[in-house]
Amino acid sequence: MRLIRHSIRFTLAAVVIVVVAGPASAGSVPAGYEPGPARQPSNHRSQLAGWEFSNIRAPSIDMDEPVLAGVDVSVLNRRVGHWSGTALPGEPGNVVLGGHRTTWTHPFREIDELVPGDIIYMTDAAGADVMYRVRETMVVEPSDVWITYDQGSPTLTLFACHPMGSSRFRIVVVADLVSTQRMA
């Protein structure tokens, strides 16, 4: 596994990219990550569901997309997919969402532009607006399914192929729960 963490900052003068890279043991799971008890494998039949149950908005990148149940390629080809068995918006655990960057509806085209501090909203089943704040962005191997594991606190994890137009790696954006607000 090769883990690359980066932060992108835009200023009027220049774009500064900070990259911290270091090799890690293949298949290692970072401390504090545990699979949730209901998390399903990516090939489980529940990943085919495809019904709409939420919405995701990231104002900083003009993203506003419906979220469908499951991460089977047939679901991801239609919209953003929710990894079956991971947390639901606003609940304890890790809400895990996948999406394409360049093909089909490419809902995650600009997720590499999300930076620490950016806000992401999801809607829960009761109509509450759930707010998450971006903590970090990393690039991992496709086999690093630990990104779908719970991290000890309520989180939102977005993942897509990386770099743009390639499936060599996965870009992962991790955000922490900030609040749940009932919509008027």
22 located within any domain = no
- Report the alpha-carbon distance of residue 101 to residue 27 in Å, rounded: 25
pLDDT of residue 95 exceeding 90, the answer is yes
| Residue 136 resides in a domain | yes
The domain of 159 spans: 46-182
Q: Does the residue 88 lie in any domain?
A: yes
Ranking 23-32, 80-89, 124-133, 148-157 by mean pLDDT, the lowest is: 23-32
Give the number of domains in the chain.
1
* pTM (2 d.p.): 0.82
Task: Say if residue 76's pLDDT is above 50.
Answer: yes
- Token pair for 51: 């019904």
Instruction: Report the pLDDT value the prediction gives residue 27, as an integer from 0 to 100.
Output: 60
Residue 21 lies in a domain: no
Per-residue pLDDT band for 60 (boundaries 50, 70, 90) equals very high
CATH number of the domain that residue 177 is part of: 2.40.260.10
Q: Nearest to residue 133, comparing CAs of 148, 146, 120, 152?
A: 120
34 domain-assigned: no
E strand or H helix at 76: helix 73-76
Per-residue pLDDT, 30: 86
Residue 19 vs residue 88, higher pLDDT: 88
Q: Is the preceding peptide bond at 59 cis, omega within 30 degrees of 0?
A: no
